[in-house]
Structure 1
Amino acid sequence: MTNALFLCGKARMRSPTAADIAARWPGIATDFAGLSHDADEKLSAEQIDWADVIFVMETRQAKRLKSQFPAALRDKRVVVLNIPDNFSYMQPELVDLLTPKLRAVLIG
């Protein structure tokens, strides 16, 4: 089982969409959270510890993640997906952008 954690700003659109896409694939467990102070689901150190791979939507989120949790990320793989914040939850265009990127990392 691969534990995949998906992060975005507020955990409202992109990260829940990515988690729901990947959760459909066998052998993948998912969770999601946000890095903003007003995120619906705020990231915890326990989630980072649980994750085998961590996906962020933007480079600036990777930097923020590393500044907030430097010790917890020591042996973690962080993947930047380069997905802009202009989609709604499960919007078809968002699903179309995410699916091949997630498949390449999680399934190979």
Structure 2
Amino acid sequence: MPNILFVCGKARKRSPTAADVAAREFGVQTDFAGLSNDADERLGLDQIEWADLILVMEKRQVARLNRQFGGHLKGKKVSCLNIPDNYEFMQPELVALIAEKLSRVLTRDG
């Protein structure tokens, strides 16, 4: 199973929820981080190096990830989950949406 890194803006709601769901429901190794300067857990190169798969919440964050870390993403699978910032941490609707999207991504990327 891959090491999955979840990335969002501030690492407060979506990415920590996704990391928890993926570890619990799919038994994969996870980590999470944010791209913003004031993120609770700021994304670092060590996390990118560790990750086999990087799952970003929004398309604009994929562009930001590429601007900030583009040279370090070679050989990394980066995918967008398309999950808007409309949810609270561990909100049941967010948990269900993440589980559904992860099921598709992990089946596809295996």
CA RMSD in angstroms comes to: 1.0
In 1: Cα distance, 2:61 partner to 2:85 partner? 12
Partner of 1:54: 54
Q: Percent same amino acid among aligned pairs? A: 62
- After TM superposition, give the deviation of residue 2 of structure 1 in Å: 1.2
Residue 41 (str. 1) matches residue 41 (str. 2): yes
- After TM superposition, give the deviation of residue 106 of structure 1 in Å: 2.1
Partner of 2:4: 4
- After TM superposition, give the deviation of residue 107 of structure 1 in Å: 4.3
Is there any run of 5+ residues in structure 2 with no aligned partner, and where? none
In 1: Cα distance, 2:68 partner to 2:51 partner? 16
With structure 1 as the length reference, what TM-score do the two structures score? 0.95
Residue 86 (str. 1) matches residue 86 (str. 2): yes
Please give the secondary structure, in 2, of the residue aligned with 1:71: helix
Is there any run of 5+ residues in structure 1 with no aligned partner, and where? none
Please give the secondary structure, in 2, of the residue aligned with 1:70: helix
In 2: Cα distance, 1:80 partner to 1:62 partner? 7
Please give the secondary structure, in 2, of the residue aligned with 1:69: helix
In 2: Cα distance, 1:18 partner to 1:72 partner? 23
| Residues matched between the structures, number | 107
In 2: Cα distance, 1:41 partner to 1:12 partner? 8
Deviations 1:12-31 (A, max 9, x none): 000000000000123x1000
- After TM superposition, give the deviation of residue 44 of structure 1 in Å: 0.2
Report the residue type matching 2:85 in the other structure: D
With structure 2 as the length reference, what TM-score do the two structures score? 0.93
In 2: Cα distance, 1:96 partner to 1:102 partner? 10
In 2: Cα distance, 1:106 partner to 1:4 partner? 10
Report the residue type matching 2:22 in the other structure: A
Partner of 1:105: 105
In 2: Cα distance, 1:93 partner to 1:23 partner? 18
